[in-house]
């Protein structure tokens, strides 16, 4: 029975799983769980993941959620996956676990916290929260500095001094790609002080093409939509001022 | 060269690593990194973990931090560790990764956020933050409910329907043990609605005795100290009122 991937391409860990499967020739059926329609809370999906989060996969009798756990499982269970994605070497593997764990409590809450609280919240049925966005921005900025000065070592193209991507590169880069829905000035303000991070995003994109761009089309569609809304807002501002 | 464990027994992931080594007969040297004295930020320790967090380990040429990554590494690298701690079976292992990942973004920020912001902050050089404590309490309560109704399935003694403990049991139970430093009424208010969780904490304690209690002595010392401070506060209150 083919692997089933329950995902919404607007979710960054969902994108990581889909790109990983495509790059590694893993056959799968993609089932859309539309977060804007709150389908992750439907009884049908809660039978897959009772905690109501995407992505989730079903492989035979195994139902699994949490994207890092899924990436590790797929890399271990499917023989088509090359070793560099999740090395057998214990020390290399340990370092990948370390950066994935760090991601959970640093880059992820920083990036997702900033994007959700400053842009996406209304589309998820919540209010914008600028104080939470400011706190998340501090964590994001600190995390980007740790990536630039520690995790991206020397001249290597990928995390941990590697010249080939691992599941950690894919997971963390997909996290950062969500910054695309920000106003371009905000995105550049956050990212452009970190040249190695910018190069690493591009290296990971190139290493997973054409799938990387194809799977991010949904995100780029959202980026255009938000940008148009901002431009309409910008156009109306002078009008508002002229009324004052 | 013997394994080196850099830890502060006041830190819950530090305790998990130390108990794991002792239970599994892994020889190690424990090096205290005193968090109250901010030794995690010293140049000597930053040579071990440039991000300045405990626990960290050094095993030969490998320097590693993030407690889940450390537990997985130790379970994989030391032949004395029984399979149930981190099973070779891919599906069982995947489920353990899943609960460990869930821990990062649910139980850990809930429990640690509540304890730090309502009790420990002054001892870490920060101010108490009751609003942050209230938000963390909501996440903690939700996480305890997920443990009770989902992760602790049926009549099994441990997580994921298992009758033997895994690294996830040890990590999550050590996380919850920090609630001991709360006022006893607060601790019981949070934990006592979750009978399975209470039994599971006791099951994990018993499965790792006597090391569990020995390694938690530092925490119980702190519990007594905080309790005495609370009692002194209670005694002084009527005095304050009588002056009004």
What is the C-alpha separation between B80 and B22, in angstroms, rounded?
11
Query: Which residues of chain A have a CB within 8 Å of the CB of B75?
Result: none
* Residue B237 vs residues B127, B178, B242: alpha-carbon distances, Å: 22, 27, 9
Residue A239: predicted pLDDT? 31
Distance (Å) from the alpha carbon of B95 to chain A's nearest alpha carbon: 7
* Candidates 1.10.10.10, 3.40.605.10, 1.20.1050.10, 3.30.1490.120; CATH matching B87-223: 1.20.1050.10
Q: What is the pLDDT of residue A41?
A: 96
Residue range B221-242: average pLDDT? 67
- The CATH 1.20.1050.10 domain(s) of chain A lie at 84-212
Give the pLDDT band (50/70/90) at residue A198: very high
Q: Do B69 and A108 touch (CB under 8 A)?
A: no
- For chain B, residues classed under CATH 3.40.30.10 are 3-81
Q: pLDDT tens across B114-139, in order?
A: 999 999 988 888 899 999 999 999 99
Query: Locate tokens 């140049």: which residue?
Result: B43
* Mean pLDDT to the nearest integer, B215-235: 87
Write the residue in A77, A90, A100 that is nearest to B76 by C-beta. Answer: A90
Residue B162 pLDDT greater than 90, yes or no: yes
Mean pLDDT of chain A: 93
Q: What is the pLDDT of residue B63?
A: 98
B98 and A65 within 8 Å at the Cβ level: the answer is yes
What pLDDT score does A59 carry? 98
The Cβ of residue B196 has, within 10 Å, a number of other Cβ atoms equal to 18
Mind listing the pLDDT tens digit for each residue in A123-152? 888 899 999 999 999 999 999 999 999 999
Among B47, B102, A123, which Cα is nearest to A115's?
A: A123
For residue B50, the SS3 value is coil
Q: What is the mean pLDDT of residues B180-189?
A: 95
Q: Which two tokens stand for residue A128?
A: 């914008």
CATH number among 3.40.1190.20, 1.20.1050.10, 1.10.10.60, 2.60.40.10, domain A84-212: 1.20.1050.10
Among the four given CATH numbers 3.40.640.10, 3.40.30.10, 3.40.50.300, 3.30.200.20, the one describing domain A3-81: 3.40.30.10
Between A18-22, A213-217, B236-240, the lowest mean confidence (pLDDT) is in B236-240
Cβ contacts of residue B41 below 8 Å, gap of 6+? B52
Q: How far apart are the first and last CA of chain A?
A: 65
Q: Do A94 and B73 touch (CB under 8 A)?
A: yes
CB contact (8 A) between residue B66 and residue A95: no
Cα–Cα distance, A227 to A236 (Å, whole number):
14
Q: Is 70 exceeded by the pLDDT of residue B34?
A: yes
């Amino acid at each position: 029975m083919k692997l089933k991937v329950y995902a919404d391409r607007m979710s960054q860990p969902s994108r990581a799983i889909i790109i990983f499967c495509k790059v590694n020739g893993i056959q799968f059926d993609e089932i859309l769980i539309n977060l804007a329609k709150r389908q992750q809370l439907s009884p049908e999906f809660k039978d897959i993941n009772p905690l109501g989060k995407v992505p989730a996969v079903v492989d035979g009798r195994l139902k699994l959620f949490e994207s890092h756990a899924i990436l590790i499982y797929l890399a271990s269970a499917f023989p088509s996956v090359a070793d560099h994605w999740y090395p057998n070497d214990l020390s290399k593997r340990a370092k990948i676990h370390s950066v994935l764990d760090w991601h959970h409590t640093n880059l992820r809450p920083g990036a997702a916290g900033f994007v959700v609280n400053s842009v996406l919240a209304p589309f998820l049925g919540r209010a914008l929260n600028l104080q939470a966005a400011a706190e998340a921005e501090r964590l994001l900025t600190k995390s980007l500095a740790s990536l630039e000065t520690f995790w991206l070592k020397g001249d290597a193209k990928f995390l941990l001094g590697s010249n080939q991507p691992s599941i950690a590169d894919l997971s963390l880069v997909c996290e950062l790609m969500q910054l695309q829905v920000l106003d371009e000035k905000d995105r550049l303000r956050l990212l452009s002080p970190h040249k190695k991070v910018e190069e690493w995003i591009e290296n990971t994109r190139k290493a997973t093409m054409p799938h990387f761009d194809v799977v991010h089309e949904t995100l780029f569609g959202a980026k255009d939509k938000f940008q148009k809304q901002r431009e309409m807002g910008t156009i109306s501002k002078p009008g508002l001022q002229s009324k004052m």
